[in-house]
Structure 1
Amino acid sequence: MKDAPLLTGAARSLFRLVACFALCYVIAAIEGAATAPQIAGWYATLAKPAWTPPNLAFPIAWTILYGLMAIALWRLWDRAPASAARRSALILFLVQLALNASWSPVFFGLHAIWAGFAIILLLVGTLAATMWQSAKADRIAAFLLAPYLAWISFAAALNGAVALLNS
């Protein structure tokens, strides 16, 4: 007699969904821990362009974006059929997530504005590649990452402007 799988299809899918949310929000917590202590101090002293959003916009946007990222990752892991595109999309997703996780500790923690700018430019490129591969595996996953790419592109422009204004 063959052993029964540990999780049924629906339970496995739910487990994967929870794991994706946990992973994304752990990254959010790392980002927040590096960022929050610097907002009222160091960040407040920086020259910023007039189009800088209010500080409250950032945690609201990121909470939504991490949720969309988690669902996109879940769709790639759980819903997309096995393929080279799916494998590439998952690898690229994890690479962009690592870049995302490194930005705040570098920019806010180390006060390394230019290094943060280099990281966020790599993040934009890696995220675009993630979306490209995701679209081949699961179009909805790629679509769910579009607001994230828009926000990261805006953040890259903001990071670049802050770097220039404070050089």
Structure 2
Amino acid sequence: MSRSWVMPVIVAALAALGIATQGATITDLGPWYQGLEKPSWTPPGPVFPIAWTVIFALAAWAAVTAWRRAPNARQADWLIGMFALNGFLNILWSLLFFRMQRPDWAFAEVLLLWLSILALVVQCWRQSRLSGVLLLPYLAWVTAAAVLNWSVVELNGPFG
């Protein structure tokens, strides 16, 4: 790894770790969550941190790869902004679902999160096909999470 890769890798890893930590801190699997009726196909609890660890690692790799391949500073800055917005939306979902206990609002928000991931896939693909492919597990996971979120709304609503 050349020295020019070191700082972007460190920054991307710290950003991914920060977003993951914020999301984990906000996530409360206490009595309210345990009391929700969930569909039978809900993944077991230990799957979630494993999946998110892999997804954030792949997203950091995709971010660095696409950023390094950006044709100019403006495109690189735009890409960083897209990843920052996506991180914000990721944390916001946890806040809405777990802290505010509003799966209905979280479902509306997860649609925005999903669109931000799709936009990242498209933008990263333009810079590096590998970068776009690295984000596909994230898109698939959030697709499944959105369906699960909707199922929780259907099984437990109304909220608020």
Report the TM-score when normalising by structure 2.
0.90
The CA deviation string for residues 116-138 of structure 1, in whole angstroms up to 9 with x for no partner, is 11111101111111111111111
Q: 2:69, 2:127 within 8 Å by CA — same for their partners in 1?
A: no
Can you list the C-alpha shifts for 1:6-28, whole angstroms capped at 9, x where unaligned?
A: xxx93231111011010011000
Task: Call closer, same or farther: CA 1:115–1:122 in 2, change over 3 Å.
Answer: same
Q: Does 1:13 align with 2:5?
A: yes
Aligned to 1:59: 49
- C-alpha distance in 1 between matches for 2:126 and 2:78: 10
Does 1:104 pair with 2:94?
yes
Counterpart contact for 1:75–1:141, Cα < 8 Å: yes
Aligned equivalent of 2:35: 45
Matches within 5 A, 1:1-167: 10-35=2-27, 38-82=28-72, 86-167=76-157
Provide the rounded CA distance (Å) in 2 between the counterparts of 1:64 and 1:54.
16
1:17-75 per-residue CA deviation (whole Å, 9 max, x = no partner) reads 0110100110000011111xx21321100010111001111001001111001111111
Q: Please state how far the C-alpha of 1:93 moved relative to its aligned partner.
A: 2.2
**CA RMSD of the aligned region, Å?**
1.8
> Partners in 2 of 1:83 and 1:131 — Cα distance?
19
Distance 1:110 1:149, change over 3 A: same
More displaced, 143-152 or 77-86? 77-86
Stretches (4+) displaced over 3 A: 83-90
Structure 1: distance between partners of 2:125 and 2:69: 13
Percentage identity across paired residues of the two chains: 34
Q: Kindly state the Cα deviation for residue 84 of structure 1 after the two structures are TM-superposed.
A: 6.4
CA distance in 2, matches of 1:159, 1:67: 24
Contact 2:107-2:150 at 8 Å conserved across structures: yes
User: Deviation per CA, 1:94-125, whole angstroms, max 9, x where unpaired?
Assistant: 21121012111111011111111111110111
Distance 1:156 1:89 in 2: 24
Secondary structure of the residue aligned to 2:37 is coil
State whether residues 47 and 165 of structure 1, in contact with CA within 8 Å, keep that contact through their aligned partners in structure 2: yes
Equivalent residue number for residue 3 of structure 1: none
Q: TM-score with structure 1 length normalisation?
A: 0.87
